[in-house]
């Protein structure tokens, strides 16, 4: 029988309408020693207002340099079943799709070898198996990998790429986000499982500028679907929106950031040349408006959370690229970026931080991309700039 | 019992093996979608086929018991097909219209919470917290639970001017997308790390520890074969602790959370933007952090009262101006609000135009 702890503080978090993580831990704790000690230690954290987990130490599975995050209780005598309690990252399926059969199979394995607790999903998009002992790592890997699953990324490596639901269910997707995500993941298994980068590298793929996967804020490489062409207008559907109470002037035309629309009460007109493809009108009038023409993606680089120089959003490197299998042009470009990073990056320096340190010119010249006004908000303000010998000869 | 033969570098399973037949058949050929109620939407393909999605909240941390329960429901009503959203909700993918009502009914009976679709509050993106992280300065799951209990109506029924995306990060490493959320909570430290000098020599690499500091506050301490921290430069980010564990920065008395607001990731209407500091510190008050839920309510209510239809929190604040935001919310403005980190000069007001 697992140990039983009094948890008066955590019990407070079983009240109220929203589903409770405490209830989840208790369900597992009723039959699992690790989950029981997790619960006990968490109650202590609530009482003492601090965490009791240690990191570090090399744990993993044979032949891999990542996919398992070492985690140890700093109170192993008090909570022996979580003395070592490592996280396993399972590479999730594009779009987070599952079948009941596969979920049940995973649950059976995880109950056998781990705490019975999961995160669906971690922030990067892995299926997180939350806590097991060192000796169970190899058996878990054998069980999961023999059934078609693999580990995700951790450390200074390619992290598990993720994508929006894309063409599987969305009418706005300009690219096959799920296939891009799957294809890139398969292409770079070695980069994911054997950390050899200066630091982490994340891909996120969004089908359009709505960016449901938050690629522009959370990926070293953000792939955002877009188009070159027109927005086709179905005027009958526009009339239906108006009839159903939409104030098309206020809600659509006046909110268009590039002022490229007009509406006279009968006809909605779009000056496509001035459209910046923000998706507002299409998102609000999905039955009436549809992007048409050449489909592809904008490639942006560099977003990350605050460490070390402050948060960054990704910025445009390639305004437009076709994204069709086998994505060779895109992959060649990424390999060049990684080469630049490998050559110049410091330990724990993200690629965006490196570009800021070295300057866009060095980066763009290295990867062979021309300067274009789409890459910037505005040109530089100060009169300090470099001229190379080659520039002087022009 | 012998283990099965392990395989390496096979990558994830192919997504097409997990799509319901209707999604496979109409892949890339969807026409439009409609939100039928806050927890139900229908996607219509050019072929006329339809798929209904019922969205159910989860706490992200799930036991295998609950996952099995979801799997059973999917088997009974959806041919076994379901997915998770990026904001930790489950979506049941229903191909037959007749199954919507009984599935909904059973979800209600099992006390599940449907909602989060459209202009309202969806589930909160958050991090590991005291449950499993070494650097947590608060417990993300506890704050999320307290907040979502308080805001439950905005998940299940009530509308907001546009989507309101909330996030909680349990330290400034920000594994959650706090830096670009409408309203977000990030846990902070306020005291410099306490160094265990005896352990530093065995556990830490001095150059990488020095390099981890954004403000250059760490320098070598050759006499002790250790490092020292300049308390005038340290901004308590805690990055050094991740590189060098004997630099313990957790402090039960002084740790707590800051609240930021006005960020977004979509390009809709206005460009993606960062969240900005609105409340520099609220003490950790587990188990339910009442001061945090109250503060989020205050900002949310001001947004609902002031924003135009379709405006996100950040768009509303930019329209009225930050000085007016502090006026309508009556939140104190402090030295902590004025940037003195890497982009400070970009944030100063270089115009004589502002509101009283």
Query: Concatenated DSSP letters for B224-292?
Result: GTEEEE-TTT-----HHHHH-TTEE---TTT-EEEEEE--B---SSS--B--EEEEEEEE--TTT-HHH
Q: What is the pLDDT of residues A121-171, one digit of tens each?
A: 999 999 999 999 999 999 999 999 999 999 999 999 999 999 999 999 999
Q: Please judge whether A145 and B250 are an interchain contact, meaning their C-beta atoms are less than 8 angstroms apart.
A: no
Q: What is the pLDDT of residues A5-37, one digit of tens each?
A: 999 999 999 999 999 999 999 999 999 999 999
Task: Give contacts of B149 with chain A, Cβ < 8 Å.
Answer: 15-18
Cα-flanking dihedrals φ and ψ of residue B52, to 5°? -105, 140
Per-residue pLDDT, B1: 66
Task: Give contacts of B83 with chain A, Cβ < 8 Å.
Answer: 95-98, 165
Give the SS3 label for residue A228: strand
Per-residue pLDDT, A1: 83
Distance from the Cα of A295 to chain B's closest Cα (Å) equals: 13
Per-residue pLDDT, A336: 98
Per-residue pLDDT, A55: 82
Answer whether A161's CB lies under 8 Å from A185's CB. yes
Residues 6+ apart with CB under 8 A from B60: A21, A119, A120, A121, B88, B123, B126, B141, B144
Per-residue pLDDT, B108: 98
Distance from the Cα of B353 to chain A's closest Cα (Å) equals: 22
Rounded to whole angstroms, the Cα distance separating B108 from B198 reads 57
Helix, strand and coil content of chain B, in percent to the nearest 5, comes to 35, 20, 45
pLDDT in tens, chain B (356 residues): 689 999 999 999 999 999 999 999 999 999 999 999 999 999 999 999 999 999 999 999 999 999 999 999 999 999 999 999 999 999 999 999 999 999 999 999 999 999 999 999 999 999 999 999 999 999 999 999 999 999 999 999 999 999 999 999 999 998 877 899 999 999 999 999 999 999 999 899 999 999 999 999 999 999 999 999 999 999 999 999 999 999 999 999 999 999 999 999 999 999 999 999 999 999 999 999 999 999 999 999 999 999 999 999 999 999 999 999 999 999 999 999 999 998 999 999 999 999 99
Both tokens of B142, joined, read 């506890």
Q: Please judge whether B269 and A278 are an interchain contact, meaning their C-beta atoms are less than 8 angstroms apart.
A: yes
- In a mutational test of the A interface, the residue from B45, B130, B172 whose CB has the highest number of chain A CBs within 10 Å is B130
Per the confidence metrics, is the pTM higher than 0.90? yes
Q: What is the pLDDT of residues A177-201, one digit of tens each?
A: 999 999 999 999 999 999 999 999 9
Answer whether B162's CB lies under 8 Å from B307's CB. yes
Q: Please judge whether A347 and B242 are an interchain contact, meaning their C-beta atoms are less than 8 angstroms apart.
A: no
Answer left, alpha or beta for residue B176, where phi above 0 means left and psi between -120 and 50 means alpha. Answer: beta
Q: Which domains does chain A have, with CATH numbers?
A: 8-146 (3.30.70.2500), 162-227+294-393 (3.30.413.10), 231-291 (3.30.70.20)
Q: Among all chains, which residue has been given the structure tokens 């018991």?
A: B65
Residue of B nearest to A29 (CA): B63
The average pLDDT across A217-238 equals 98
- In a mutational test of the A interface, the residue from B267, B282, B290, B310 whose CB has the highest number of chain A CBs within 10 Å is B267
Give the SS3 label for residue B41: strand
Answer whether B59's CB lies under 8 Å from B145's CB. yes
Per-residue pLDDT, B175: 84
Rounded to whole angstroms, the Cα distance separating B87 from B79 reads 24
Distance from the Cα of B354 to chain A's closest Cα (Å) equals: 23
Per-residue pLDDT, B176: 74
Answer whether B91's CB lies under 8 Å from B70's CB. no
Q: Please judge whether B72 and A99 are an interchain contact, meaning their C-beta atoms are less than 8 angstroms apart.
A: no
Give the SS3 label for residue B129: helix
Distance from the Cα of B233 to chain A's closest Cα (Å) equals: 14
Rounded to two decimals, the ipTM of the complex is 0.97
Both tokens of B221, joined, read 């301490």
Task: Give contacts of B131 with chain A, Cβ < 8 Å.
Answer: 21, 25, 38, 42, 130
Rounded to whole angstroms, the Cα distance separating A260 from B39 reads 34
Element spanning A78, H or E: none
- In a mutational test of the B interface, the residue from A11, A16, A18, A121 whose CB has the highest number of chain B CBs within 10 Å is A18
Rounded to whole angstroms, the Cα distance separating A63 from A391 reads 49
Distance from the Cα of B2 to chain A's closest Cα (Å) equals: 10
Classify strands B166-169 and B125-126 as parallel, antiparallel or unpaired: parallel
Q: Is B271 exposed, middle or buried (0-12, 13-18, 19+ CB in 10 A)?
A: middle
Residue of B nearest to A148 (CA): B13
Distance from the Cα of A278 to chain B's closest Cα (Å) equals: 5
């Amino acid at each position: 029988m697992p140990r039983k702890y009094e948890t008066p503080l955590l019990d407070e978090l079983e009240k109220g309408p929203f589903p409770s993580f405490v209830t989840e831990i208790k369900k597992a704790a009723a039959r699992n020693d690790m989950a029981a000690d997790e619960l006990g230690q968490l109650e202590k954290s609530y009482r003492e207002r601090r965490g009791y987990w240690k990191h570090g130490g090399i744990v993993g599975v044979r032949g891999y340099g990542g996919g398992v995050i070492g985690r140890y209780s700093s109170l192993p005598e008090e909570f022996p079943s979580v003395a070592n309690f490592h996280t396993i990252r399972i590479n999730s399926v594009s779009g987070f799709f599952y079948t009941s059969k596969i979920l049940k199979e995973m649950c059976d394995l995880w109950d056998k070898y781990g705490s019975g607790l999961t995160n669906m999903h971690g922030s990067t998009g892995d299926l997180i198996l939350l806590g097991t002992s060192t000796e169970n790592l190899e058996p878990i890997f054998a069980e999961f990998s023999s059934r078609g699953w693999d580990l995700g990324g951790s450390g200074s490596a390619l992290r598990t790429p993720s994508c929006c639901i894309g063409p599987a269910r969305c009418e706005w997707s300009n690219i096959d986000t799920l296939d891009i995500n799957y294809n890139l993941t398969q292409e770079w298994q070695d980069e994911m499982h054997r950390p050899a980068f200066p630091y982490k590298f994340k891909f996120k793929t969004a089908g359009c500028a709505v960016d449901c996967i938050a690629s522009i804020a959370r990926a070293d490489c953000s792939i955002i679907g877009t188009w070159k062409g027109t927005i086709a207008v179905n005027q009958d559907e526009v009339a239906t929106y108006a009839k159903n109470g939409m104030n098309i002037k206020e809600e659509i035309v006046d909110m268009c950031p590039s002022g490229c629309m007009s509406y006279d009460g009968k006809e909605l007109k779009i000056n496509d040349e001035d459209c910046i493809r923000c998706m507002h009108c299409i998102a609000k009038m999905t039955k009436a408006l549809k992007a048409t023409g050449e489909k592809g993606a904008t490639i942006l680089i560099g977003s990350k959370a605050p460490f070390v120089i402050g948060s960054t959003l990704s910025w445009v490197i390639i305004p437009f690229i076709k994204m069709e299998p086998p994505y060779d042009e895109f992959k060649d470009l990424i390999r060049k970026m990684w080469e630049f990073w490998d050559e110049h990056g410091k330990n724990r320096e993200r690629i965006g931080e490196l570009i800021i340190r070295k300057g866009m010119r060095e980066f763009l010249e290295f990867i062979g991309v021309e300067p274009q006004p789409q890459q910037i908000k505005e040109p530089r303000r100060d009169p300090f700039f470099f001229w190379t010998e080659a520039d002087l000869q022009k | 019992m012998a283990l099965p033969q392990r395989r390496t570098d096979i990558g994830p399973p192919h997504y097409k093996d997990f799509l319901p037949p209707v999604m496979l058949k109409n892949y890339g050929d969807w026409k439009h979608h409609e939100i039928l109620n806050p927890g139900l939407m229908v996607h219509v393909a050019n072929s006329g086929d339809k798929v209904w999605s019922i969205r159910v909240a989860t706490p992200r941390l799930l036991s295998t018991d609950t996952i099995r329960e979801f799997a059973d429901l999917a088997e009974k009503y959806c041919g076994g097909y379901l997915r998770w959203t990026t904001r930790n909700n489950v979506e049941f993918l229903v191909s037959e219209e007749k199954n919507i009502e009984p599935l909904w009914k059973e979800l209600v009976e099992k006390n599940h919470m449907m909602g989060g679709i459209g202009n309202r509050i969806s589930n909160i993106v958050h991090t590991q917290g005291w449950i499993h992280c070494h650097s947590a300065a608060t417990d993300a799951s506890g704050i999320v639970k307290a907040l979502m209990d308080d805001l439950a109506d905005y998940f299940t029924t009530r509308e907001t001017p546009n989507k309101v995306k909330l996030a909680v990060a349990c330290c400034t490493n920000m594994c959650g997308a706090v830096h670009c959320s409408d309203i977000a909570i990030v846990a902070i430290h306020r005291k410099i790390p306490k160094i265990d000098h005896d352990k530093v020599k065995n556990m830490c690499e001095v150059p990488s520890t020095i390099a981890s500091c954004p403000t250059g506050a760490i320098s070598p301490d050759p006499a002790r074969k250790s490092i020292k921290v300049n308390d005038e430069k340290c901004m308590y980010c805690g990055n050094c602790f991740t590189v060098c564990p004997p630099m313990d920065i957790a402090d039960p008395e002084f740790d707590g959370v800051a609240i930021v607001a006005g960020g977004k990731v979509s390009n809709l209407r206005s460009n993606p933007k960062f969240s900005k500091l609105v409340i520099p510190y609220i003490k950790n008050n587990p188990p339910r952090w009442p001061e945090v839920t109250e503060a989020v309510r205050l900002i949310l209510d001001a947004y609902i009262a002031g924003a135009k239809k379709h405006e996100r929190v950040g768009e509303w604040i930019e329209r009225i101006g930050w000085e007016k935001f502090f006026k309508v919310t009556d939140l104190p403005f402090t030295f902590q609000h004025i940037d003195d980190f890497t982009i400070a000069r970009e944030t100063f007001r270089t115009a004589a135009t502002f509101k009283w």
